[in-house]
């Protein structure tokens, strides 16, 4: 079997949720050995070795994020960050999409399967709905005009296995990168899509209570909204989403 075929089969197994290798032959771990092993000869007392200093992944992330002076440097820093295990099961780093330095920055939760495949945030069904929602207030991720453009990123840049919820330690590791991302993009307004982005940047959950109520994040106005994936499951909530989009449009006019 050549390398590429083996790699493709392994990725397929990971996509199915395989987490460990199992041998072809069964092993009876309760079987006693035929003869008891001879006791080992006493060895000299080992010389104690000093334990390696424990690395704090959050502090490593903070140092790496603070050292990034541009969005390109930040992406490289995230790509080089080795302490988040999510990267080991993901196909690609999903950094951002849209126009950098647009007036509106949308913060999602984490990439899904389509996003992991294409390396861009919000490109699946939820992303298509997101585009239609913002098109209704004349905003697009590919608009050349900063006033009509969007910039999109996620709390986590790597897809969690089987689209599970992000773990608190994963969010803590990647939060310094997200905060630096917001500082470098420098939008006028943030839109927090869903519970996990609100929890990361506001320290609060309960999107049904938070949505539509303006908050402040890193000195910027922030509007929590229902995640488009939630709207696909609950179309009746699109009325509240439309209200929030109009509120966003009004806030942008006021800030201008």
Q: What is the mean pLDDT of residues 198-202?
A: 97
Topology (CATH) of 57-255: Uracil-DNA Glycosylase, subunit E (3.40.470)
Is the pLDDT higher at 59 or at 36? 59
In the chain, what are the domain boundaries? 57-255
- How many residues can be counted in the chain? 256
DSSP string, 96-158: -EE-TT-SEEEEES---HHHHHHTSSS-SHHHHHHHHHHHTTT-BTT-SSGGGBEEEEES-SS
**Largest separation between any pair of C-alpha atoms in the chain:** 84
Over residues 17-28, mean pLDDT: 71
Give me 88's structure tokens: 């080991």
Average pLDDT, the chain: 91
Q: What is the pLDDT of residue 10?
A: 83
User: In this prediction, what percent of the chain has a pLDDT beyond 70?
Assistant: 89
Q: What is the pLDDT of residues 95-145, one digit of tens each?
A: 999 999 999 999 999 999 999 999 999 999 999 999 999 999 999 999 999
pLDDT value of position 45: 66
Query: Residue 35 is encoded by which pair of tokens?
Result: 């003869």
pLDDT at 82 over 70: yes
% residues pLDDT > 90 (the chain): 77
Report the pLDDT value the prediction gives residue 114, as an integer from 0 to 100. 95
pLDDT mean over 172-201:
97
Residue 37: is its pLDDT beyond 80?
A: no
> Residue 43's pLDDT is what?
62
Q: Collapse the DSSP code of 43 into the 3-class scheme (helix H, G, I; strand E, B; otherwise coil) and give the result.
A: coil
> Which pTM value belongs to this model?
0.79
Chain segment 52-76, per-residue pLDDT in tens = 678 899 999 999 999 999 999 999 9
């Amino acid at each position: 079997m050549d390398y590429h075929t083996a790699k493709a089969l392994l990725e397929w197994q990971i996509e199915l949720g395989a987490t460990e290798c199992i041998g072809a032959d069964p092993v009876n771990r309760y079987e006693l050995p035929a003869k008891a092993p001879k006791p080992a000869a006493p060895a000299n007392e080992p010389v104690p070795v000093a334990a390696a200093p424990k690395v704090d992944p959050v502090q490593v992330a903070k140092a790496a994020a603070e050292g990034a002076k541009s969005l390109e440097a930040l992406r490289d820093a995230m790509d080089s960050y080795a302490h988040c295990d999510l990267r080991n099961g993901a196909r690609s780093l999903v950094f951002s999409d849209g126009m950098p330095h647009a007036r509106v920055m949308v913060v999602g939760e984490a990439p899904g399967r389509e996003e992991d495949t294409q390396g861009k945030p919000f490109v699946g069904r939820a992303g298509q709905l997101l585009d239609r929602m913002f098109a209704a207030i004349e905003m697009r991720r590919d608009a050349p005009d900063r006033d009509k453009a969007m910039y999109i990123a996620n709390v986590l840049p790597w897809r969690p296995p089987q689209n599970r919820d992000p773990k608190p330690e994963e969010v803590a590791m990647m939060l310094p990168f997200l905060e630096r991302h917001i500082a470098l993009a420098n939008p006028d307004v943030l839109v927090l899509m869903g519970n996990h982005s609100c929890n990361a940047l506001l320290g609060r959950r309960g999107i049904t209570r938070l949505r539509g109520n303006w908050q402040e994040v890193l000195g910027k106005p922030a509007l929590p909204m229902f995640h488009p994936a939630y709207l696909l499951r609950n179309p009746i909530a699109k009325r509240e989403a439309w209200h929030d989009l109009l509120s966003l449009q009004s806030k942008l006019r006021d800030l201008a």
